[in-house]
Structure formats: C-alpha cells, structure tokens
Chains A and B, each alone.
Chain A
Amino acid sequence: MDIIISNSSGKPIYEQISSQIKNHIISGTLLEGAALPSMRLLAKELRVSVITTKRAYEDLERDGFIETVMGKGSFVANRNMELIKEEQLRITEEHLQKAVHVAKSSGITLLDLHEMLSMLYEEE
C-alpha cells in the first residue's frame, strides 16, 4: 500500500492520509479485514506526528471504513457497498461539477455536454 503525502499541499495531512486509505479500500488494494499499520508505525514512516495519524484513523472509523480494536489495532471494516457507492457518487459529482462550470463559462450547451458524455461512456 502506498501513501504519499505532500507538505506543500493546502490539504491537511490527516485528510490526505484518510482519503488515500479510503481509495485503497474502495479500489480493493486493502481488503476486508486487512490489518492497517499501527498509528505509530505510520507516523514514523511518513514522518508525521502520531496525533496526525490518530486523527486520520479516527476519521476513517467515523466514516465507517475501518474498525479499531483495543490492543489489537485497526482493520478494514466489512465492505459496505452503500458507503462505497456514496463515496464514488460524490467524487463523480465533483468532477461533473467542474465540467459544467467550464462548459457554462465557455458557452458550451447542455446538449453538447450530453453528447460528449455519451461518447465518452461508450468509448470506455
């Protein structure tokens, strides 16, 4: 599992960590029940504070992606398809929002956009 954080990005590091782990879970790199590295090990490897990794894990647990067992560590929660779908929907909407924004500001019509979308979907 790779986790790459950027110190110069505006996004707080704990957010970077939690969203990357989320992606790994969604994409299947991290399977159900898989053990996550301990907060301390992650902190050491990424050269960040243990408070940061703790926060990231807390957020992941709050969002239902992982479960923390006292004394044992953190594990990927049972795949909750609902949650995952929700997340994917959200990301897709984000991207579409951007496309709409650009289209509107350059005079591209909704019809054009529709066509583009169908073409792209069929291509893949």
Chain B
Amino acid sequence: METVLEVNHLSKQFDTFSLEDVSFQLPKGSIMGFVGENGAGKTTTIKLILNLINKNSGQVKMFGLDHMKDEKQIKEQIGVVFDNSHFHDHLRPDDIAKIMRNIFQNWDDALFTNYLKTFKLPLNKTVKEYSKGMKMKLSIATALSHHPKLLLLDEATSGLDPIVRNEILDILLDFIQDEERSILLSSHITSDLEKIADYITFIHDGKIVFSESKDELIYEYGIMKCGIEDFKKISKSDIVGYRKGQFGYEVLVRDKKEMEKKYRGFVIDHTNIEEIILFHVRGEEQ
C-alpha cells in the first residue's frame, strides 16, 4: 500500500507545550481522521507538516518528496483548509479566482465555478457577507480547484451546524472516489470521523497514542461493565482505561472476543471513537 503522507519522529518544543516523536502514515486513497482534544497538538502537527512552523527534529514526506526540499512542488498538489476563512473581507469569489490563477499551476477556473454553483455560493457577495458555513465551503472549493491529490483539513467542520457538516462530509466522500486521492482530516468531532474515516490517529498531550484502522478500533475495543468487587479481579494489563461510578466500574478493554472468554459473565458493550479517546485520557488521570 502506497503511503501518500509519512510523518517520522516529528518534534517541536514551545514554552508551555511540546510535540514529541510524532509518527504516522497515511495510505494513498484513504481518509485519516486526526483526532484529539483541543490543545492536544493537531494544528501544530499539521503546521509542522506544512513547514509553517520550524520543526526541532523529524522528517515529513508527501508523495515521496521531502516537505522542505520539495516544498513548492508538494504544495502544488495539496489542498489545505483551515478552520477559519483566510480570505480578506472585501474579496468576492472572482477576486479569489484571479489570485489563485496566478498561484497554482493547475488552477481550474471552470472547476471552481462549478463548485461555487454546486455549493450554492453567491458570486456577487463579499467574504464578509458570507455565513460561516459558506466561508468554509468557499475555502474547500478553493482547495479543490487546482486538482490536488491530498487534502489536509484542520478542524474544518468545527463550529458548523450538522446540516452543513454533513454536506461537507459528502463533498469529501465524493473527492475520495478517485483512489489516487487522500484526505487527512483533523477534528475533535468524533461522530464526523466515525462516518467517513478509514483510519484514526489519536494525539494526546503532544504524543501519538494510536494510529489504526477505524474498523479495528470499533470491533476490537469494548467497554466492560462490572461491580466494584469484580473490578479487582481484572488484571491491570487488560485495562486500557477505566471510569469509576457510584454503582460500578466501566473499563475500556482491547480484543473484545478474548475478554469475553476471559471474563465470562461480564457485560461488554460496543464502543465508539469518542469513548475510546475519553477512556485513554481519563484512564491516565486515575
């Protein structure tokens, strides 16, 4: 399986926060959800990948090219969407097209116009007059209109209502129909990622906790529920994280089938990405 984005041992130190030894791979043709709580390091990682922030150490490759040596070549082939619109208030879509035409070699005016029409974005209004959802769709339209092979979105759906978010997810799924294309989508809205991600990479406190296929996560992890006495019977190595309630314990376990055999009679429920993350983070605190 070809890798379109390779991050190796990326590190960056700030005063109050540091990113340590971040590594993961995005296989070509897939969507990877990059998830973590606010402040975990998602945006920092993406900025490091894009060389917007100077790294301390590590290596990043896209399309097999080095992100610093072949920076311009890479950036012709990627589309980036940040969480806020970065267009000046007084610009209109045709102004944006005028600018982009002279930045990207592969800028496609017809494609841009098509996206504007599909997304129902008014051509005669300025960015200032656009709603938040419209601004985001405009950013996406811009990112898609130079035929990129890799899309990087940083919290692009945060702050949008469910209807717009759904529309955007559909746009992303359409984009990925061509298996030469890939998407890295960072978000703290796990339900969105559950809908479209093939892989999930979880970052917490500047470190990667896991990076695996979403299916495996959903099928393998489970929440085991038991009483206070029974909790003591569970071996420490089986506990990924736990939550103590007034009437019992909830334990996140890996390899559900094994656990079902090992701890007969215990309730083991299906889980979702949000819970897996919560337990990883909370489990640490306890």
Q: Chain B residues near A13 (CB, 8 Å)?
A: 215
Instruction: For the complex, give the distance between the alpha carbons of A47 and B176 in Å.
Output: 13
Instruction: For the complex, give the distance between the alpha carbons of A40 and B197 in Å.
Output: 12
What sequence of 0s and 1s flags, for each residue 206-247 of chain B, a beta carbon within 8 Å of any chain A beta carbon?
A: 000000011100010000000000000000000000000000
Interface residue? A96 (CB, 8 A): no
Q: Point out the residue from A40, A44, A49 that lies within 8 Å of B215, measured CB to CB.
A: A49
Q: How many A-B residue pairs have CB under 8 A?
A: 35
Instruction: For the complex, give the distance between the alpha carbons of A55 and B219 in Å.
Output: 14
What sequence of 0s and 1s flags, for each residue 30-71 of chain A, a beta carbon within 8 Å of any chain B beta carbon?
A: 000000001011011001011110010000000000000000
Q: How many residues of A contact B (CB 8 A)?
A: 15
Q: How many residues of B contact A (CB 8 A)?
A: 18
Within B177-220, which residues are at the interface with A (CB < 8 Å)? 177, 179, 195-198, 213-215, 219
Given A49-B214, A51-B213, residue A44 in contact with residue B177 (CB < 8 A): yes
What sequence of 0s and 1s flags, for each residue 235-271 of chain B, a beta carbon within 8 Å of any chain A beta carbon?
A: 0000000000000000000000000000000000010
Q: Are B177 and A38 in contact (CB under 8 A)?
A: yes
Instruction: For the complex, give the distance between the alpha carbons of A12 and B257 in Å.
Output: 13
Q: Are A40 and B177 in contact (CB under 8 A)?
A: yes
| Interface residues of chain B: helix, strand, loop or mixed (majority) | mixed
Q: Are B30 and A52 in contact (CB under 8 A)?
A: no
Q: Are A52 and B176 in contact (CB under 8 A)?
A: no
Q: Chain B residues near A44 (CB, 8 Å)?
A: 170, 173-174, 176-177
Q: Are A47 and B177 in contact (CB under 8 A)?
A: no
Q: Chain B residues near A51 (CB, 8 Å)?
A: 30, 198, 213-215
Interface residue? B41 (CB, 8 A): no
Q: Are A50 and B215 in contact (CB under 8 A)?
A: no
Instruction: For the complex, give the distance between the alpha carbons of A8 and B31 in Å.
Output: 23
Min CB gap B193→A, angstroms: 10
Q: Chain B residues near A40 (CB, 8 Å)?
A: 176-177, 179
Q: Are B198 and A49 in contact (CB under 8 A)?
A: yes
Beta-carbon nearest neighbor of B30 in chain A: A50
Q: Are B215 and A41 in contact (CB under 8 A)?
A: no
Q: Are A47 and B213 in contact (CB under 8 A)?
A: no
Interface residue? B29 (CB, 8 A): yes
Beta-carbon nearest neighbor of A40 in chain B: B177
What sequence of 0s and 1s flags, for each residue 79-114 of chain A, a beta carbon within 8 Å of any chain B beta carbon?
A: 000000000000000000000000000000000000
Instruction: For the complex, give the distance between the alpha carbons of A47 and B31 in Å.
Output: 13
Beta-carbon nearest neighbor of A45 in chain B: B173
Given A47-B195, A47-B196, residue A52 in contact with residue B177 (CB < 8 A): no
Instruction: For the complex, give the distance between the alpha carbons of A13 and B31 in Å.
Output: 18
Q: Point out the residue from A12, A43, A47 that lies within 8 Å of B219, measured CB to CB.
A: A12
Greatest chain A CB density within 10 A among B170, B177, B270 is at: B177
Task: Kindly list the 6 A-B residue pairs having the minimum CB-CB distance in the complex, ordered from nearest.
Answer: A44-B173, A49-B198, A40-B177, A51-B198, A49-B214, A47-B195
Give me 6 A-to-B residue pairs in the complex whose CB atoms sit less than 8 angstroms apart, sorted by A's number. Answer: A14-B215, A47-B195, A49-B213, A49-B215, A50-B31, A50-B198
Residues of B at the A interface (CB closer than 8 Å) are: 29-31, 170, 173-174, 176-177, 179, 195-198, 213-215, 219, 270
